[in-house]
Structure 1
Amino acid sequence: MDDIVQAALKKWPNVPHCYGWLALDARGDWYMRDERIQRAGPFPRVKGSRIDHDKLLAFIGRNYDCDERGAWFFQNGPQRVYVELECTPWIWRLQPGGAVLSHTGREAQVESAWLDEAGHLYLLADLGLGLVHTQDMALAADAIEAGRWTPQDCIAAKLPAIHRYQRRPQPA
């Protein structure tokens, strides 16, 4: 977490949490969801405004974490902004040399692979569970064929409970 964020938390410890305003889609893109967008429909049917600003994306990535309930958030100074997840807390980007990076740019160490009923590939890593980005499926197939990963069957709807994350955090 950024030093400036930690300082803001000490200075203003009781800022209310924010829900519904930030979302992460299955391709690793962040979306702002103002009140108008939230009224228009649930995420991901109505996504909102895609965040494209490089410095803001880096700031979100450095301050992305989860609480004890398995609810993922972005610590924006003193305010905790909870994230709605289309799928999983992490979206994995596979690199030609074999590295696995999160949508935030963090390197991950893969522990196991999972394949759901629709053919989506998930990797459990030291950072947690994530979906392999659709553009990286050729690299994933190479890793499986090389014996680096042996996918086990899973049911997508059961993944949040098994891996302790919330797709739509709500106030406690």
Structure 2
Amino acid sequence: MDAIVEAALKKWPNVPHCYGWLALDARGDWYMRDERCQAAGPFPQVKGSRVTHEKLREFIARNYAADARGAWFFQNGPQRVYLQLEAAPWVWRVDAAALQPGGTVQSHTGLSTTVSASWLDEQDRLFLSTPLGLGLVHSLDMDWAAQAVEQGLWAPEFCRHADLLQRCGVCLAPEVNVAAGAAAAG
């Protein structure tokens, strides 16, 4: 986390969390979702404005984390901006590095990691578990992923998407869970 973000958290510790304004699609792109986009429909049917400013993308990536519930957020100064995720919190880029002994994949945020398990869901999407967490293989990298499977480096098992998220402790839409929890408590 950036030092300036940590300082803001200390200075303003009680800023309310934000929900619905930022999302991550299945290709690793961040989307800003203002009130108009949110009113037009749910993510990913209505995506919003793709974040293209490189410095902003890097800032989000450096300050991207999960809470104890498995809900992912971007710590924007003192405010925690919870994300809506299309498929998973990570989108893995796969290339020749994955096919080497001790091979690695790279996250949409630029972090490298090793693969510990793999699954195919009911939509034939390939998910990888890593020390960083669960992620979806980028659609452009399926040729590399197929080579990893053919070489026996990965042996995907079938798992329904909802079951995989539960198994890995991932929350796709935290505001829905907050509302459900408040209703249950009331």
Same fold (TM over 0.5): yes
Offset at 1:26?
0.5
More displaced stretch, 154-163 vs 27-36 = 154-163
Residue 88 of structure 1 corresponds to which residue in structure 2?
88
User: Following the alignment from structure 2 to structure 1, what is the Cα–Cα distance between the partners of residues 57 and 21?
Assistant: 15
Offset at 1:95?
2.2
Residue 141 of structure 2 corresponds to which residue in structure 1?
136
Structure-1-length-normalised TM-score: 0.97
Offset at 1:122?
0.5
Of the candidates 101, 122, 127, which is equivalent to residue 117 of structure 1? 122
User: Following the alignment from structure 1 to structure 2, what is the Cα–Cα distance between the partners of residues 64 and 83?
Assistant: 10
Amino acid across the alignment from 2:126: L
Q: What RMSD, in angstroms, separates the aligned Cα atoms of the two structures?
A: 0.9
Amino acid across the alignment from 2:40: A
Of the candidates 142, 167, 171, which is equivalent to residue 166 of structure 1? 171
User: Following the alignment from structure 2 to structure 1, what is the Cα–Cα distance between the partners of residues 164 and 74?
Assistant: 22
User: Following the alignment from structure 1 to structure 2, what is the Cα–Cα distance between the partners of residues 80 and 143?
Assistant: 37
More displaced stretch, 157-166 vs 41-50 = 157-166
Structure-2-length-normalised TM-score: 0.90
Residue 77 of structure 1 corresponds to which residue in structure 2?
77
Structure 1 residue runs of 5 or longer lacking an equivalent are: none
Residue 184 of structure 2 corresponds to which residue in structure 1?
none
- Percent of pairs with identical residues: 62
User: Following the alignment from structure 1 to structure 2, what is the Cα–Cα distance between the partners of residues 40 and 149?
Assistant: 40
Higher strand fraction: Structure 1 or Structure 2? Answer: 1
Deviations 1:134-160 (A, max 9, x none): 000000001111111111111112122
